[in-house]
Structure 1
Amino acid sequence: MRYACYLFLFVVCSACTYTAKITDGTTAIERKQYHVAVPMLTKEFKKARSRSEKGKIALNLGHALRETGRDEEAVEWYQTAYDNNAGPDALREKAAALKRLERYEDAIQVYTDLGFEIGSKYEFRKDISGAELAIKWREEEKAGRERAFTVQPVDFNSNQADYAPVAFENRLVFTSDRAAATGEEKYNWTGRGFTDLFIVDPVNGRAADAFDVQVNTDNHDGTPAFSADGQEMIFTRCAAPGKREDAYCGLYRSERAGEGWAPAQILPFVKAGANYMHPALSTDGQRLYFSAKLEDGWGGYDIYVANRKADGTWEDPILMNRAINTQGNEQFPSLDGDTLYFASDGLEGMGGLDIYRTYPMANGRYSAPKNLRTPVNSGADDFAFIVVGREGMGAEEKTLGYFSSSRPGGSGSDDIYAFVQRILPPPPPDPTPIVYKNILDVTVVEKIYAEPGNPSSAVLGRKPVPNASIVARVGEQSRTVNTNDEGVLSLVLVDDQQYQFRAEREEYLVAEGSFSSRNLPQDPDAPEQRYELELELEKIFRNQEIVLNNIYYDFNESFIRDDAKPTLEALSAVLERNPDIRIELGSHTDCRGKPGYNQQLSQDRAQAAVTFLVEQGIDPSRLSARGYGEDQPIEQCLCERCSEEEHQRNRRTTFRILE
């Protein structure tokens, strides 16, 4: 099931535990109370009268079933949503669910149909190629290709989520939200408890016990790493700093205290407002690997490594390179000696998260990540791979370990699987001389809007922009090249360089991106590697309102909250890249309150946004503030009958590019 795998991947928001009474399925979805939403939405669908209403409810019901691990049912509801005018998003979700269920041929057909419908085969190329690869690997197995791995579920799985085991004193410590977890409150995403650490003896088959009262709290606790001597533990805890504030996941450290553990302290390099998770310690305890989503990352969640200083503290974490990190998500690192295992949804794989293996070669660089293939990987999420021991010698040696998966057929939403890996005979040597080559495909793309010409309409996908101008810079040297008809510029990378790219086209906002070729693989088993970088151009829509998402204000206040600053900082960066445009910042209120008061409040809020941009260095002559009060609602509902969702859509901050 997707929930537990992503529990430590995405922000765990305070809305997930919000205890106010939920009266409708849409509100339950907004607050991520998916378990609560399913029965509500099922009843609401039966009562719905219009096709449009049925489509919206069916789409939400598909989401709720997806997030509670019921993909077979979700597939049907996504199709129902599409049949009731829910649009391409419903088919996109259906295809993803089919892929998780390993119905690859069906998924390919849906993705192909989707490409035709939105007018861009580019958007789903990776989804299709991954499904084709999975089919190929499955056919090779049927043809008798030797399997390196045999896998089977462990007998201590529950009917809840069990995942991410690690070895500790001849036992396993794993993460679970099973009924014995600490606390009485339910996590309404799943209808189950919050996660805790549990310990089990997998050999003697004893029942799992709670790990330690100092570690297990009413928050989400899990994914630990232990020092070789068992005296130090670093683990993930997701907690809110205050009531009704967003909760973030951080890395916490605890020391052994007798038979138990001392109270945990957050690691000093963990920054507020960001997520850190999935620690893994090297055998000597001098390197800490983990996953985080930080500003300097390559996209999504990336793997970092921190080195321990002589005094026992940690240096600032280092972002691992593009041989490992992608524009997708990389997480759940683990170590077997110097071999690094990790999960990724950004590398080509079978669907969801797949497990990959890499290791440092003689030249000091990591090898090209290798997909462990089936039966370890599946169409669902596969992650948290660990090696716990070996048996035999030489060609008869077997590697033993565990991994986690949300594949169908398990006991719960996520399950732990044991594996045995045999050594397969090496392939015959290839006499062809090795020529190492790293190629970067830079693709310039633009959004496809549901309503062409309306930037406030839904985004259906992206399509390449042909013949766009790209300025490529390496150090002091620069070169301007146009993309081809497919919107692509391909170049052979020079080793150990930092590339900067700037994409331009008339009547589009400038887009920028970067790529580092530092320490890319030179792997004899995979001498040619291809990488991708997307530069997304935004078409200029003059005098059209564009909503700025994630800008909220405290009740009756106009100051810029911390959670709104990233959106305005991103807007500031756009203005810096495009010095010739002028914009109007607008603010709208909902219909509640007196018109005069709403007008002044909206003006103050718009001005606060302008002031923030000026403080970022934007010339004030390029900015204007305008409060619209309640005069231009998006939702045309009667005020006393508007839902909270409709009030929120009306209560928005916008900008428009002026002539």
Structure 2
Amino acid sequence: MKFRTTFLFLFVVFGIFAQDKKSKGDLLFYGYAYKDAIKEYKKQQINTPLTNQQTLNLADAYYMIGNYSSAADAYVQVYKKDTTMSDYHFNKMLEAMSRTSDKEKMQAFLDTKKDLMPHEWTENADFNYELLESNEGGGMDYHLFNVSNNSAQSDFSPAFYSDDRILFSSGRPQKDKQDYSPSGESYLDIFVGKLNGNGDVQNSIRFAGIPASSFHKSTPYYSKALNEIFYVLSNTANGDLVYDQNGKNALAIGLAGQNGSFEYILKDLSTSFYYPFYDAKTQRLYFVANFDEGYGGTDIYYVNTNNGQIMSSPVNLGPRINSPGNEIAPYIFNNSLYFSSDVFYGLGGMDIYKSNIMGDDNFSIPINLGRGINSTADDFGFIIKDGGNGGFEGYFSSNRQGGKGKDDIYGFRISDDPGLKTLALTGTVTDPTTGEGIDKVAVSVLDTEGNPIKEVYSNEDGQYRFEIPWRDHIVLEIHKERYGTFKKKYDEKEITALEKNQLNIELPFLDAMVAQKEDKTVLKLKKIRFDRGKSTITPEAAMVLDMAVYALKEFPQIRLAIETYTDSRGASSTNLKISQNRADAIKNYLIEKGAPAKSILSSKGYGEEKILNNCTNGVYCLDMLHEQNNRSLLVVTNYDSL
């Protein structure tokens, strides 16, 4: 019995057309007799075409029995008739295609709807495709073991209870519980198992720390901070199931105290709630539900609480986490959110993902934990803690081949932080003159051969963030039209250091670095002063020219013409020679300090050819007026085309 899929499917589809007249195939389908429903729908097709909803039911039925090729064909029939197919079923169509290894066909259908999807979904998909392909040979080095107390029924959703015990859900038979017809197993109950020194689960018995019920009790979470247990249970009153007006019995979340107290925390007769997780640090209660305004099947939400008592409306974690598929089983550890999803770009079925919590309800791209933990079957209910020897240990559930029952609990140990390795970098791009952030700056990640890997743009505050599958070497290029350019190569050691800190970059604005002089566009610099009659670069002149070097490095596309002039004192031929020497000295200094040689088109001395005032030959002038004519201009010849 697949609680996370069969149950989720039940509550997502149940009652969609509750008031419509149903065919025999419909009745079998809504009664979870999928093989028989398929037979009846195929009979019906001989005489009467199926409605779009019935074709969807047929597709879902094929999917539930594992006939993914026929499921994909049926989903496509609906999509071709009605491209407004729900995101939930669109995901099912893509997932069915992915399970038949028809990735090109899947990508083609995905492209038809990309513009209508939140950009986070396509970004998540592209990232995880690349991540899994780059780790095609295998995942991380997980040590897995099937725990001893798994039964022939469904055992899933482990939860830490104490240092030597865990809680879990099971459909194993019990004398005081009836069978639940969709699964053919007993109504679910919560069990507690003893942990031995190797982390194996033994001596499991039904947990007596919560009120008894003849119906579902499952997916527990024990809060050490509250010393209470959150868990899912059937809606009941006076020991009997309670139904809404459409005849639906939903699941609620209850809170049981160690003193025998109990209260419903989340309850709605028409809405089912699943997989509670209480984060003591934020006092948020995370859970799963299929509210109408969600993104697909079931989504992950949270409510703010005061020591477990709900104090807010539900908050959806948003499209970075919630996909058009089903998201379940949230768990927070070391500031990372772990959860499971059956989104189409996984390895198959439910996969376990990890997303770093960035603050203010922001999350990093969820990354697939990779082969080993994940398989082509359903993998879910992941929990983790420190292993005590520098590594980590935990448990999860899976219905992969080789297990003892329909769902089994697996233990794992791993030496490193779980998750395929990625590279994430954040920072801010600012204008050095104003100190303000620059928006729409392109941050390009290239490989060492210059091939593009990723490109993002800074927001209105100049902030940027990117995440890519891990690479030992990258090149960063940060640029915007009419701004400077930052470009640098990083090796593995530098990248590791870079991830721990923000990379904040200043990009000068071209228009702030030029000025108009003598009807020319020139670099905006203080006056370049030479000793009288000499052409040696003085320390004072060097400081000014260093700013010119900076400008040419930031704007390598600039082309300069260096023009130098003198006053009229002395012989004209001598002044012409001095000005030429000064122009050449400026050019040589710029190149020696790293300015691109190709940036300097010419260096020419004009002597006393262009006197700015009346201080020409034979005219008496004060030194300060003569000095006005001693000048050097670094003319930007291509400013209009930059």
Length-normalised TM-score, structure 2? 0.52
* Cα separation, 2, equivalents of 1:53 and 1:9: 21
Larger Rg computed on CA atoms:
2
Q: Secondary structure of 2:177's match? A: coil
The match for 1:227 is: 223
The match for 1:174 is: 168
Q: Secondary structure of 2:11's match? A: coil
In the alignment, residue 278 of structure 1 is paired with which amino acid?
A: Y
Structure with larger RCO (C-alpha < 8 A, sep 6+): 1
Q: Is the 8 A contact 1:161 1:413 kept in 2?
A: yes
Offset of residue 3 of structure 1: 5.1
Structure 1 residues 120, 360: closer, same or farther in 2, change over 3 A?
A: closer
Q: Secondary structure of 1:38's match? A: helix
Of residues 221, 245, 248, the one that matches 2:250 is 248
* Cα separation, 1, equivalents of 2:12 and 2:172: 18
Of residues 107, 111, 129, the one that matches 2:106 is 111
The match for 2:515 is: none
Offset of residue 178 of structure 1: 2.9
* Cα separation, 2, equivalents of 1:437 and 1:379: 45
* Cα separation, 1, equivalents of 2:438 and 2:273: 34
1:466-491: CA deviation from partner (whole Å, max 9, x where unpaired):
xxxxxxxxxxxxxxxxxxxxxxxx99
The match for 1:375 is: 372
The match for 2:640 is: none
Q: Is the 8 A contact 1:41 1:61 kept in 2?
A: yes
> After superposition, where does 1:9-408 map in structure 2 within 5 Å?
11=11, 24-29=24-29, 32-34=30-32, 36-39=33-36, 41-42=38-39, 45=42, 63-67=60-64, 70-71=65-66, 74-75=67-68, 77-78=70-71, 96=92, 99=95, 103=99, 106-111=101-106, 137=131, 139-143=133-137, 147-169=140-162, 170-180=164-174, 183-188=177-182, 190-203=183-196, 205-206=201-202, 208-212=204-208, 214-228=210-224, 231-239=227-235, 241-242=242-243, 245-257=247-259, 262=260, 264-267=262-265, 270=267, 273-283=270-280, 286-294=283-291, 301-309=298-306, 313-317=309-313, 319=315, 321-322=317-318, 324-326=320-322, 328=324, 329-344=326-341, 349-360=346-357, 367-392=364-389, 397-407=390-400
Structure 1 residues 107, 96: closer, same or farther in 2, change over 3 A?
A: farther
Structure 1 residues 363, 155: closer, same or farther in 2, change over 3 A?
A: same
* Cα separation, 2, equivalents of 1:327 and 1:428: 21
Offset of residue 387 of structure 1: 1.0
Q: Is the 8 A contact 2:124 2:365 kept in 1?
A: no
Structure 1 residues 322, 398: closer, same or farther in 2, change over 3 A?
A: same
Offset of residue 75 of structure 1: 2.8
Offset of residue 65 of structure 1: 4.9
Offset of residue 226 of structure 1: 1.0
In the alignment, residue 33 of structure 1 is paired with which amino acid?
A: G
In the alignment, residue 236 of structure 1 is paired with which amino acid?
A: V
The match for 1:577 is: none
Q: Is the 8 A contact 2:147 2:409 kept in 1?
A: yes
In the alignment, residue 291 of structure 1 is paired with which amino acid?
A: V
* Cα separation, 1, equivalents of 2:295 and 2:206: 37
Q: Figure out how many residues of one structure are paired with residues of the other and give that number.
A: 426
* Cα separation, 2, equivalents of 1:363 and 1:59: 38
Question: Structure 1 vs Structure 2: percent identity of aligned residues?
Answer: 23
Moved more, 54-63 or 379-388: 54-63
Offset of residue 166 of structure 1: 0.3
Q: Secondary structure of 1:28's match? A: helix
* Cα separation, 2, equivalents of 1:368 and 1:134: 9
* Cα separation, 2, equivalents of 1:14 and 1:431: 44
* Cα separation, 2, equivalents of 1:94 and 1:322: 19
Offset of residue 401 of structure 1: 0.6
Offset of residue 297 of structure 1: 5.8
Q: Is the 8 A contact 1:5 1:414 kept in 2?
A: no
Q: Secondary structure of 1:11's match? A: helix
* Cα separation, 2, equivalents of 1:370 and 1:428: 9
1:98-157: CA deviation from partner (whole Å, max 9, x where unpaired):
9579746x23144257579xx7686899999988866655554455x7724343443433
Q: Secondary structure of 1:27's match? A: helix
Offset of residue 236 of structure 1: 1.4
Structure 1 residues 349, 309: closer, same or farther in 2, change over 3 A?
A: same
1:177-202: CA deviation from partner (whole Å, max 9, x where unpaired):
233385224333x3333322122235
The match for 2:407 is: 414
Tell me, which stretches of 5 or more residues in structure 1 are unaligned?
A: 440-489, 498-522, 529-659
Q: Is the 8 A contact 1:357 1:369 kept in 2?
A: yes
* Cα separation, 1, equivalents of 2:387 and 2:288: 27
> After superposition, where does 1:521-600 map in structure 2 within 5 Å?
524=499
Q: Is the 8 A contact 2:56 2:74 kept in 1?
A: yes
* Cα separation, 2, equivalents of 1:138 and 1:229: 37
Q: Is the 8 A contact 2:423 2:499 kept in 1?
A: no
Q: Is the 8 A contact 2:141 2:414 kept in 1?
A: yes
- CA RMSD of the aligned region, Å? 5.4
In the alignment, residue 246 of structure 1 is paired with which amino acid?
A: K
The match for 2:557 is: none
* Cα separation, 2, equivalents of 1:108 and 1:491: 30
Q: Secondary structure of 1:7's match? A: helix
1:309-364: CA deviation from partner (whole Å, max 9, x where unpaired):
37x73322562654754454543111325433223456964455433334456999
Structure 1 residues 146, 248: closer, same or farther in 2, change over 3 A?
A: closer
Structure 1 residues 49, 153: closer, same or farther in 2, change over 3 A?
A: same
Q: Secondary structure of 1:274's match? A: coil
Offset of residue 376 of structure 1: 2.4
* Cα separation, 2, equivalents of 1:323 and 1:120: 16
Structure 1 residues 496, 433: closer, same or farther in 2, change over 3 A?
A: closer
* Cα separation, 1, equivalents of 2:438 and 2:397: 34
Structure 1 residues 158, 148: closer, same or farther in 2, change over 3 A?
A: same
* Cα separation, 1, equivalents of 2:74 and 2:426: 53
Q: Is the 8 A contact 1:101 1:380 kept in 2?
A: no
Structure 1 residues 54, 421: closer, same or farther in 2, change over 3 A?
A: same
* Cα separation, 1, equivalents of 2:252 and 2:150: 26
Q: Secondary structure of 2:185's match? A: coil
In the alignment, residue 385 of structure 1 is paired with which amino acid?
A: F
1:607-632: CA deviation from partner (whole Å, max 9, x where unpaired):
xxxxxxxxxxxxxxxxxxxxxxxxxx
Q: Is the 8 A contact 2:128 2:367 kept in 1?
A: no
* Cα separation, 2, equivalents of 1:7 and 1:305: 21
In the alignment, residue 28 of structure 1 is paired with which amino acid?
A: L
* Cα separation, 2, equivalents of 1:347 and 1:147: 22
Q: Is the 8 A contact 1:182 1:216 kept in 2?
A: no
In the alignment, residue 266 of structure 1 is paired with which amino acid?
A: Y
